[in-house]
Every structure is written in structure tokens, then in C-alpha cells.
């Protein structure tokens, strides 16, 4: 092989090596981009893919029953509602205004148990034309005991919710649903650890989640 042919072959090899290197780098960039996407699927969706930004402005317990006092339950209910609205494919929760979200958290905590707001708490001004309010309006329990050698008592409980959706230029939409559960436990309490309600770990938590899913099934 003469010198000219050798030089041409080397040039071709260098060009191919560069193309392979560029392809590898490009693939790494794509993979890193996927890996760095936020775990919360809402984060990059606001104002995109046709979804309408919305916000839950109130969650309130109207049952007057013991076991529902902790306002962390309200925050957990809000998260379940956010999930269901997002899953509909039409809405995305607003998460890019930390100060507004802090004010709403305070308002939800203050009004979770009643309508009488403390004087230092005002309903925040919300920069969204789509607002959601959630009300836990029913909580009933009944305890029965079976007869026989393996007799055991069980408690049946039912949770009812009302969810109101207000969209600019649209009439108020109301969604109602119920969730039911059965337990052998005497206590009917939510499982709260590390400032979080674990709805899936108790019968009342599961019934609450079912009620929300039932209400929003036709959203």
C-alpha cells in the first residue's frame, strides 16, 4: 500500500472514531437527562401537554368524629386528590409558587376542623382559575359480633367525601363518593409517622382513599 492510500485509510479511521465517540456522548446525555427527571411526574407538566393547572385550596373535616383531629390528615387527602386529578390527564397541580403554597398549607391546617377561621388566618389569594375544595362529610361506624365457636367482633366503617371543582367560566362541579372498610380492631385511627399519614396501612385510611377515588372516577 502506498503512502497516499495509508494516509487516506488513517483519515477514515479517525473520522469513524470521532463519529462513534459523538454517538456515545449523545447517548450518555440522553440517559442522564432521563435519570435527572424529577420523581414527581407533575413537576415538568405545568402549562404543557394541554393540562390545566389547578390547586386544592381547602380540605375540611365535617364529621365531628374523634381520630380525625390531626391536620396532617388534610395534607394527605390533598395529595391523594392531586394524584387523582393528574391521573385524569387533564389537570396538573401548581407547585411553582412556594409562598402561595405555604399560605394555603396554613389555611388548610387552620380550617381543617371547622369553618371559624382564627383572626390571624385569611383565605389566601390564589393565582389559579381552577380551584378544588374537599370536604369529609360522613364517617360512620358499626360494630357487630358473629355467633359461634369462632365468634369475633368486627367494625364496619364508611367514609363519605364531597369535592368541589371551580373553573373560570364554568358552573360549579360537585363530585361525591364513599369508601368502606372492615376491621377487627377496636381503635379506628390513622397511621401517622414522620409527619406523614400512611393511608394504606389502616382501614380508615384505605376507606378514605377509596372514597376519593370513587368520587373522582368520572372526572
**Residue 127 confidence class, pLDDT cut points 50, 70, 90:** confident
Element (H, E) at 24: helix 3-35
Q: What is the pLDDT of residue 45?
A: 43
Asked if pLDDT for residue 112 goes beyond 70, the answer is yes
Mean pLDDT of the chain: 80
Cα gap 125→118, rounded to integer Å? 17
Cα gap 10→162, rounded to integer Å? 74
For 158-193, what is each residue's pLDDT tens digit?
A: 999 999 999 999 999 999 999 999 988 766 789 999
Residue with the three cell numbers 372498610: 181
Share of the chain above pLDDT 90, in %: 56
CB 187 within 8 A of CB 155: no
Cα gap 53→178, rounded to integer Å? 26
Cα gap 210→141, rounded to integer Å? 16
Element (H, E) at 87: helix 72-87
Q: What is the pLDDT of residue 183?
A: 87
List the grid coordinates of 108. Answer: 388548610
User: Could you name the CATH architecture of 52-215?
Assistant: 3-Layer(aba) Sandwich (3.40)
Q: What is the pLDDT of residue 196?
A: 93
Residue with the three cell numbers 374523634: 66
Residue with the three cell numbers 382501614: 203
Domain boundaries, the chain: 52-215
Q: What is the pLDDT of residue 44?
A: 41
For 5-63, what is each residue's pLDDT tens digit?
A: 455 445 544 545 555 444 444 443 333 343 333 334 444 444 557 899 999 999 999 99
Cα gap 131→118, rounded to integer Å? 22
CB 69 within 8 A of CB 197: no
Amino acid at each position: 500500500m502506498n503512502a497516499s492510500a495509508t494516509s487516506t485509510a488513517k483519515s477514515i479511521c479517525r473520522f469513524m472514531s470521532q463519529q462513534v465517540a459523538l454517538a456515545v456522548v449523545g447517548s450518555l446525555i440522553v440517559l442522564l437527562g432521563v435519570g435527572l427527571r424529577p420523581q414527581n411526574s407533575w413537576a415538568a407538566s405545568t402549562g404543557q401537554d394541554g393540562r390545566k393547572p389547578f390547586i386544592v385550596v381547602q380540605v375540611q373535616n365535617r364529621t365531628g368524629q374523634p381520630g380525625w383531629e390531626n391536620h396532617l390528615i388534610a395534607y394527605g387527602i390533598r395529595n391523594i386528590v392531586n394524584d387523582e386529578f393528574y391521573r385524569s390527564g387533564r389537570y396538573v397541580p401548581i407547585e411553582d409558587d412556594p409562598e402561595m403554597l405555604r399560605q394555603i398549607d396554613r389555611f388548610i391546617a387552620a380550617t381543617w376542623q371547622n369553618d371559624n377561621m382564627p383572626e390571624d388566618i385569611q383565605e389566601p389569594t390564589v393565582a389559579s382559575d381552577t380551584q378544588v375544595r374537599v370536604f369529609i362529610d360522613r364517617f360512620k361506624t358499626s360494630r357487630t359480633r358473629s355467633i359461634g365457636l369462632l365468634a369475633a367482633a368486627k367494625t364496619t366503617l364508611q367514609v363519605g367525601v364531597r369535592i368541589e371543582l371551580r373553573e373560570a367560566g364554568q358552573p360549579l362541579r360537585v363530585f361525591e363518593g364513599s369508601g368502606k372498610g372492615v376491621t377487627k380492631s377496636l381503635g379506628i385511627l390513622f397511621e401517622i409517622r414522620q409527619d406523614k399519614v400512611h393511608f394504606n396501612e389502616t382501614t380508615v385510611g384505605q376507606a378514605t382513599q377509596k372514597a376519593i377515588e370513587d368520587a373522582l372516577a368520572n372526572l
